[in-house]
DNA sequence: CCGGGCGCTGAACAGACGTTTAGGATATTG
DNA sequence: CAATATCCTAAACGTCTGTTCAGCGCCCGG
């Protein structure tokens, strides 16, 4: 279980500070709603220095995007290795079944701005967000294929669609975590909330949620 | 199967036009990224008229929010009645199982800006979005209780969590529809894409996705 | 000792934004 | 017909935005 920042030295340079502060503010309120002066103030530097280091506000946005994307790449890589290796073991089966959502949540320290930034990234239609999603979809599909081969996943007639279904469901829990906590009382950031959630997920994915009243397929376009 | 706008007369007043145009632009790019001048231009009026009718840009935003929320209230009401009545019939079982997601999608004409606006509403942490989510969660929980009582849904030990799980999964398709279409090639706005999606959803919910390797529960906090 | 990068700042600039104000056009009312 | 209210606009205002520019202090090679 590696951390998400493997090789990056702990640089406390002004440039890195600005990028990190910007990440937090962008995640919280969206890049457009945050001013350069605000970032500079929070980082303890002058507004001009922000532009000096990143060229423009959009340059800073791109730098933050890239840093976040790199973090996600690391997670995907780590998850890919662990998942593919563990798929053939009994523990791997359990881990694989709930891997995407839970491993994702476990990859960040509590209070990390990354999930919030991911929300903005996917919402805004940013190409970086699409790239991350594509990477995850790829991983999800490969993982599902391995789980099917290992006899853990029940084969589906439309594997891409099923991989997408499972991926999107996991992501939704991350995207709607605030509402889930405030409205449903299920805080995924606490062990208790995560445990309740995981229990339902594994139960539904293992045994289904509804009793099929009719195994025949009769759904035309109605 | 009623439309989502039951009683509102087809008013083409300038005020209604502005609100509708704003809804489209807000859904597409977010309220903060759209200027008053832009809305006025698209509606064929002067910028001053926008402020004259709605007081301020934020007033317009609130009016759009309220209109969208009212539309969702109608949908929830219609869905609630239909769901609660149909839960006891065979057809109702099938309809109930896939109701939330599909009935939602069927409630809007193709090209409607409402789903896009909902995306913004839920992912941006807007209080209106939270209110809509809370309303849906309430409906989801009640519906699940009825489906359990009717023997259609397999009872869960934690009904609120399960209702939340199913609701979030249905919402996931809406929230990530753009990525689903561009990356996975599953466009939920087309009958074909929706059919592929629904087939996977009903299959997973009816028969599960993974073979439980061990029916015992041994998941501590690891 | 000293000259040139380098990191950094204060002050200013042009543009865009939301908003206000004064008033024109058209219909309704006495 | 005059008066009034309603709907709407052109032009301007003050503010805030991202960005630029000239220059400060500091370390480092000669």
CB-CB: which of A124, A206, A210 is closest to B152? Answer: A210
Local confidence band at A56 (pLDDT 50, 70, 90 cut-offs): very high
Angle at A177 (CA atoms; ends A174, A181), nearest 5 degrees: 155
Local confidence band at A20 (pLDDT 50, 70, 90 cut-offs): very high
pTM: 0.88
DSSP character at residue B108: S
- The C1' atom of C19 and the CA atom of B185 lie apart, in whole Å, by 45
> How does pLDDT run across B178-194, given as a tens digit for each residue?
999 999 999 999 999 99
Q: What residues of chain B lie within 8 A of the CB of A173, using their CB?
A: 168
pLDDT at A88: 55
Distance (Å, rounded) from C-alpha B44 to C-alpha B24?
Answer: 15
For residue A153, which phi and psi values (nearest 5 degrees)? -95, 135
Enumerate residue ranges in chain B where pLDDT < 50. 1-10, 92, 215-222
pLDDT at B106: 79
Angle at B71 (CA atoms; ends B36, B50), nearest 5 degrees: 20
Mean pLDDT value across residues A93-118: 76
Closest of A33, A118, A113 to residue B30, by C-alpha: A33
Distance (Å, rounded) from C-alpha A44 to C-alpha A13?
Answer: 12
pLDDT at B89: 59
With CB atoms and an 8 Å threshold, state whether A153 touches B210: yes
Distance (Å, rounded) from C-alpha A141 to C-alpha A164?
Answer: 8
| Angstrom distances, CA of residue A78 to CA of A103, A111, A121, A151 | 10, 22, 22, 23
With CB atoms and an 8 Å threshold, state whether A169 touches B168: yes
Mean pLDDT value across residues A130-141: 95
Strand (E) or helix (H) holding B21: helix B14-29
pLDDT at A86: 63
With CB atoms and an 8 Å threshold, state whether A161 touches B197: yes
Mutate which of B210, B212, B222 to disrupt the A interface (most A C-beta within 10 Å)?
B210
Mean pLDDT value across residues A175-200: 95
User: Cβ–Cβ contacts within 10 Å for residue A130, how many?
Assistant: 16
Give the A window 82-121 contacts with B, CB below 8 Å.
Answer: 90, 93-94, 97, 119-120
> How does pLDDT run across A82-91, given as a tens digit for each residue?
766 665 555 5
Cβ of B48 near strand C (distance < 7 A): yes
pLDDT at B94: 54
For residue A113, which phi and psi values (nearest 5 degrees)? -80, -10
pLDDT at B85: 67
Residue A82, Ramachandran bin (φ over 0: left; ψ between -120 and 50: alpha; else beta): alpha
Radius of gyration, alpha carbons of chain B = 20
pLDDT at A217: 42
């Amino acid at each position: 279980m590696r951390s998400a920042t493997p090789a990056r030295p702990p640089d406390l340079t002004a440039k890195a500070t600005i990028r990190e502060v910007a990440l937090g503010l962008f995640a919280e309120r969206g890049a457009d709603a945050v001013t350069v002066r605000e970032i500079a103030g929070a980082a303890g530097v002058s507004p001009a220095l922000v532009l000096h280091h990143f060229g423009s506000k959009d340059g800073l946005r791109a730098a933050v995007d890239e840093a976040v994307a790199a973090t996600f790449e690391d997670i995907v890589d780590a998850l890919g290795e662990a998942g593919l290796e563990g798929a053939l073991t009994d523990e791997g089966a359990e881990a694989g079944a709930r891997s995407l959502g839970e491993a994702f949540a476990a990859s960040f320290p509590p209070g990390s701005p990354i999930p919030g930034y991911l929300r903005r990234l996917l919402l805004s239609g940013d190409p970086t967000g699409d790239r991350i999603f594509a990477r995850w979809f790829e991983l999800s599909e490969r993982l599902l294929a391995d789980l099917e081969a290992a006899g853990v996943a029940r084969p589906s007639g439309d594997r891409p669609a099923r991989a997408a279904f499972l991926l999107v469901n996991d992501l939704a829990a991350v995207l709607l975590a605030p509402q889930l906590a405030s409205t449903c009382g299920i805080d995924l950031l606490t062990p208790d909330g995560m445990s309740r959630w995981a229990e339902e997920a594994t139960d539904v994915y293992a045994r289904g949620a509804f009793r099929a009243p009719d195994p025949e397929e009769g759904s035309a376009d109605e």
